[in-house]
Structure 1
Amino acid sequence: MLTALQHEIVRMLARGASDRHIAHRLGLGLRTVQRHVSTIMQLLRVQSRFEAGVAVTRAGLLEELDAGARRSTDPTPDRPGGSGATT
C-alpha cells in the first residue's frame, strides 16, 4: 500500500519527472524523493523508473491517482447558508 505522498510521487514519476523535479515541486529533499522512489519500485516489484510508470499506467492506477489528486486540490464546495450572511 502506498502512502498519499508516494501516490503523488508515483504519479509524477509515471509522467517522466526527475527526482530533482519531484523534490522541488513537493518541497522535499532530493534524498527523500530517491528513498521514496526506491520504496515504490520495491512495492511494485519493478527494476526501473520506466517500469514503475508502465506498471501504474497498465494497472489503470495513473487515472485513479490523477482523479485523487484533483479531488484533494478542489476547494470544498460551499454549504448552503455557510457564508454567514443573513438576508
Structure 2
Amino acid sequence: PSQHFFYDSQYLLENGEKRTNQMLYISITCGQGRTIQQKKKLYQSIAEELSTHLNISTNNIFITLNETPLENWSFGQGIAQMVNPKEEK
C-alpha cells in the first residue's frame, strides 16, 4: 500500500528535481567483473528504456547492483558450479 512506501523525494537528484509516488526500485544481483563505465551505461540504458516505454520519469528509477562472488552461486543440485574444484581446498 502507498502509505507503506517510504522514499526521499530529492535524495541525490540534481537541479532540484523530485521523485513521485511512481518510483520504481530495481535490484540486480550479478557476478563481479564489470567496469564502472559498464555499470554507468547499464543504469543509463535501463532508465532511458523504462522512461521511453513506460512513461516513467528517470527521476523515479532507482537501481542497485549487488555483485556477488561466484562461490556464492548455485544453479541447482546443491553444486557451486562456478567454483573451480582446485580452489575449494
TM category (shorter chain) comes to 0.3 to 0.5
* Alignment TM-score, normalising by the size of structure 2: 0.32
Structure with greater Cα Rg: 2
Greater helix proportion:
1
Select the structure that is richer in strand.
2
Name the TM-score, length of structure 1 as normaliser: 0.32
